[in-house]
Structure 1
Amino acid sequence: MTKTLTFKNSELSVVGNFLGTLSLKNKASRGRTKLIKLISAKNDEYNEDRKETLEPFIKKDEAGNNVEGDTPGSVVLIEEKRDEANTAINEIDNESAVIEFTEYSEKMKALYDVIVDYPTEFSNQDAAAYDLLMDQLEAVFENETEETK
């Protein structure tokens, strides 16, 4: 049976960053490392899609180069197309990123078993990321338990 986790594209980096803050050992740590790699690959796809989608809305200089914004790596959007660009980006941000992890199932189960009762309290963004991750892991591993009964 294929095992997957599904996040919105915009949630990928939040969950990946959160995973990196956890203090884990052994198989759970290896599960975290595999999951971070899978999330990172999906996040790279998302960033590439975002970049391609924004391209027609970016203001160009006389040489045809992108006009850079005030912050490093940012660009200036064509004023008349700003709403259209924001709509397109919101669509990509809210698309589902499906992460297939069947081959790492044992390691993911070990990760789940450790973080389900993680001894540290979470707040703010970490609490939200924990909730997102646990919703997905519970959906996979609690259904698995019910199927084996």
Structure 2
Amino acid sequence: MLKSISNIRQKQEGAIMMKNTIEFKNSELTGLANVLGGFKLKGKASLGRTVLIRKFAKKQEEVNDDRIEIQKKYFETDKEGSLRVFKGSEGKLIPRSELIDKEDPKKLGTKAAKELDDEIKELNNEKAIIDFSEYSPRFKALKDALEDYPYELESDSAIAYERVYDQLEQAFNKGEK
């Protein structure tokens, strides 16, 4: 199994997990942040949302770093360690010579492409654990505001609402037991 850098960071940051944590899949972070930014909130609830969005952004940066490290196993890098791209290709990465498709040298071979895809899927499915202990009153206000949110939500907004509210509710219910 892939031991990603973000998992290692999470273990280092919290060998003892704080009781005030919420969890999301890495693949959810950007979408949740984007939708939450559009919610009409004020006061402490708005502050809680802002902190949560910042924490999502920090976790997303870690995921992006991990994704680049995975890609470096399959694609060429320059002297500085940056991924190389074909000229004029708008970011198409150059496969490592030992991993190219024999019929199309601008692509990864089938086996390498599947391995890369599997590693990226695993990274996307990993949990991003967000500790909010120091911001607990703000997150409690966010939970309370979402509980009584007066506006109708549809599609992505409704899904984001449900994911964030459920996580906050579970976190605060743990503290009450």
Q: Which structure 1 residue ranges, 4+ long, deviate > 6 Å from structure 2? A: none
Cα shift at 1:138: 1.0
The separation in 2 between residues aligned to 1:36 and 1:131, in whole angstroms, is 16
In percent, how many aligned pairs have the same letter?
A: 40
Alignment partner, residue 53 of structure 2: 36
Alignment partner, residue 79 of structure 1: 108
Map Cα deviations across residues 86-132 of structure 1 (whole Å, 9 max, x no partner).
00100100011100010000000001000112111211111111111
The separation in 2 between residues aligned to 1:12 and 1:51, in whole angstroms, is 17
User: Would you say the 8 A contact 1:58–1:67 is kept in 2?
Assistant: no
Any idea what SS the aligned residue of 1:97 has? strand
Match for residue 13 of structure 1 among 9, 30, 47? 30
Cα shift at 1:144: 2.8
In structure 1, what residue type is equivalent to 2:47? Answer: R
Any idea what SS the aligned residue of 1:98 has? strand
Match for residue 99 of structure 1 among 115, 119, 130? 130
Q: Normalization by structure 2: what TM-score? A: 0.72
Query: Greater helix percent: which structure?
Result: 1
The separation in 2 between residues aligned to 1:123 and 1:10, in whole angstroms, is 20
1:124 aligns with 2:155: yes
User: Would you say the 8 A contact 1:68–1:75 is kept in 2?
Assistant: no
Any idea what SS the aligned residue of 1:7 has? strand
Q: Normalization by structure 1: what TM-score? A: 0.85
The separation in 2 between residues aligned to 1:68 and 1:101, in whole angstroms, is 44
Alignment partner, residue 66 of structure 1: 85
Equivalent pairs counted in the alignment come to 143
- Cα distance change, pair 41–138 in 1 and its aligned pair in 2 (3 A): same
- Consecutive unaligned residues of structure 2, counting only runs of 5 or more, are 1-17, 96-106
Cα shift at 1:59: 6.0
1:4 aligns with 2:33: no
Structure with the larger RCO, 1 or 2 (CA within 8 Å, 6+ apart) = 1
